A and B are shown apart, each in its own frame.
Chain A
Amino acid sequence: MGRPTLDGFQVIADTSRREILQMLSKESMTINTIAGNFDMSRPAVSKHIKILYGAGFISIQDIGRERHCMLKQDGFNKVKEWINFFDKFWLTKLKNLESILNSKSKKTK
């Protein structure tokens, strides 16, 4: 049996992995640069990277000889959809309010 797959919460329950995500939220980094920020060995860092990659939190791209890690954007796209949705939603509702208020004032005036 291979390594058990960790769920999202188990993945981010680890302090080092959260720190890695925190770093990557600012910019993409090579595995070496990430390892340089930790006291632990490079293989230990690699193991965390592998877990983050396996859980879909980051993507890894080979550029030249370096492996670049970056945050995966998939999880963020739904947020954009929600923002667009609410933007239109509120606009429609605020116009509703306008027509209701205006029809009300016609009746009372």
Chain B
Amino acid sequence: MRERIYHQFFYDHSPETVWEYLTKAELISQWLMPNDFLPIVGHDFRFTIRAMPEMDFDGIVYCKIVELIPFKRLSYSWKLGPGGGKIAIDSLVSWTLIPKDGGTELTLDHTGVKEMEYFNMFSALNKGWEANMKKIGELIHTSTHGTPNT
């Protein structure tokens, strides 16, 4: 099943200009969404959209910058869920800028859009699922019996 979104656009502007619109919070909000983006790898930020309860979405997209190569490439995680810290979609948004014909070819690659609970269990067998289960078990235990050491 397709779990990838891909768009390519040509903008008649330099990669430097397009980059500004991808990495300055105020400029991003002009075309995308209100946010608290900062161009620092590892920086956690959020986008706020309208909530969509029918889709189990509280309107906040939780992101973390994973790659930042000025004027060339930007990737951040893109996580969302129904709220209360629960994440239903854990995906990745990557932007690639290529100078072309005096402008910029901008590629958006949004990958890994899949629902965690259903998909993880298939791949997890090879990815230390036991450890995850243990962690989940501990979390369930903690939430049932209160935080340890308090």
A residues lining the B interface (CB < 8 Å): 8-9, 12-13, 18-19, 21-22, 25, 75-76, 78-83, 85-87, 90-91, 93-94, 96-98, 100-102, 105
- Which B residues, 56 to 91, have Cβ-Cβ distances below 8 Å to chain A? 56, 89
Number of A-B contacts (CB under 8 A): 82
A49 to B121, CA, bound (A): 16
Residue of A76, A94, A105 touching B115 (CB-CB under 8 A): A76
Interface contact A97-B125, CB-CB below 8 Å:
no
B residues lining the A interface (CB < 8 Å): 1-3, 5, 7, 9, 11-13, 17-18, 21, 30-32, 55-56, 89, 106, 108, 110, 113-115, 117-119, 121-122, 124-125, 129, 133, 136-137, 140
Among all A-B residue pairs, the 7 with the closest Cβ atoms: A75-B118, A96-B31, A97-B31, A12-B121, A94-B9, A25-B122, A87-B5
Tell me the nearest residue of chain B to A96, going by C-beta. Answer: B31
Interface contact B55-A13, CB-CB below 8 Å:
no
Q: Chain A residues near B89: list those with CB within 8 A.
A: 82
Interface contact B3-A83, CB-CB below 8 Å:
yes
Interface contact A21-B11, CB-CB below 8 Å:
no
Interface contact B118-A100, CB-CB below 8 Å:
no
B80 to chain A, nearest CB (A): 9
A3 to B9, CA, bound (A): 56
Q: Chain B residues near A76: list those with CB within 8 A.
A: 1, 115, 118
Q: Chain A residues near B110: list those with CB within 8 A.
A: 86, 90
B112 to chain A, nearest CB (A): 11
Interface contact B18-A82, CB-CB below 8 Å:
no
A80 to B115, CA, bound (A): 10
Residue of B3, B11, B122 touching A79 (CB-CB under 8 A): B3
